[in-house]
Amino acid sequence: METAFRDAHQSIMATRLRTDDMLPICEIMDEVGYHSVEMWGGATFDSAMRFLNEDPWDRLRQIKKRMKKTKTQMLLRGQNLVGYRHYSDETVREFVKRAIGNGIDIIRIFDALNDLRNMSIAAEAVKKEGGELQMSISYTISPVHTLELFAKQAKDMADMGADSICIKD
């Protein structure tokens, strides 16, 4: 998985890379052989609207149009979606439906507290809409975050239908 279109500029440029700056390289990246390119979600949605005056849905469609071989992937903050508060179950279901309908192939869901209850509605929606479900364990070191806990969380995620599991730091 390649994350330059989401995480790289989120970390280096405060998520200010414009869609027009991404599009010229899409077809070349499509030929590299990546399993997926994570290019949407997290702060990209908010930044596109708030700081770049761009339509994040248009970004998704434009990139998808140019990447015919490579799966497109997004990061979803569980019940928070791409926002900064919890949304209703119906809003989560509709957002996931529209994300997949507009070109997302893989949705990576995480919750900063590793609370599977905050990921369950989105996970169900991804499976219902025919998307590939990647669930994430947020790794940290503390007295309660043991290997046994992480193993149990991974099993629970598999039981929820995860197609893959990501360990996120």
Q: What DSSP line would sit under 43-76, residue for residue?
A: HHHHHHHHTS---HHHHHHHHHHH-SSSEEEEEE
Average pLDDT, the chain: 93
The pLDDT-based confidence of 11 (bands split at 50, 70, 90) is low
Express each pLDDT in 45-59 by its tens digit: 888 989 999 999 999
Residues 6+ away with beta carbon under 8 Å from 45: 56, 82
**From the CB of residue 3, how many other CB atoms can be counted at a distance below 10 Å?**
17
The domain segmentation of the chain, as residue ranges, is 4-168
Assigned superfamily of 4-168: Aldolase class I (3.20.20.70)
Q: What is the token pair recorded at 85?
A: 């508060």
Express each pLDDT in 116-125 by its tens digit: 999 999 999 9
- pTM as predicted: 0.93
